[in-house]
Amino acid sequence: MPARRLSGILPDMPAAMKDRYGLFRRAWGVYYANDKLTGQPKSLKTTDHQKARRLVDALNEAEREVGIRKQIGLLYLSAADPQAAKRTWTEVMAASVQMAPPKSRHRWATVELSEPLVVIIALRTTITVRI
Average pLDDT over residues 13-23: 73
Average pLDDT over residues 75-81: 88
Examine residue 75 and state whether it is found in any structural domain, yes or no: no
- pLDDT for the residue 15: 47
- Residues 53, 22, single domain; the answer is yes
Report the distance separating Cα 19 and Cα 2, nearest Å.
28
Examine residue 77 and state whether it is found in any structural domain, yes or no: no
Q: Which residues of 38-76 are buried (b: 16+ CB within 10 A; e: fewer)?
A: eeeeeebebeeeeebeebbeebbeeeeeeeeeeeeeeee
Residue 130 — pLDDT band, cuts 50, 70, 90?
Answer: low
Domain count, the chain: 2
Q: Quick one: DSSP state of residue 42? A: E
Is 60 exceeded by the pLDDT of residue 94? yes
Examine residue 115 and state whether it is found in any structural domain, yes or no: yes
Residue 131 — pLDDT band, cuts 50, 70, 90?
Answer: low
**Domain that includes residue 111, residue range:** 82-127
Examine residue 73 and state whether it is found in any structural domain, yes or no: no
- Residues 8, 58, single domain; the answer is yes
Task: Give pLDDT tens digits for 51-66.
Answer: 999 999 999 988 887 7
**Phi then psi dihedrals of residue 100, to 5 deg:** -70, 150
- pLDDT for the residue 108: 85
- Residues 55, 95, single domain; the answer is no
CB contact at 8 A, 56 and 33: yes
- pLDDT for the residue 40: 95
Percentage of the residues of the chain whose pLDDT score is greater than 90: 33
- Residues 57, 16, single domain; the answer is yes
Q: Which residue has the higher pLDDT, 126 or 2?
A: 126
Report the distance separating Cα 131 and Cα 112, nearest Å.
20
The distance of Cα 56 from the centroid of its chain, to the nearest Å, equals 15
Examine residue 54 and state whether it is found in any structural domain, yes or no: yes
CB contact at 8 A, 108 and 93: yes
Strand partners, 24: 32
- pLDDT for the residue 17: 61
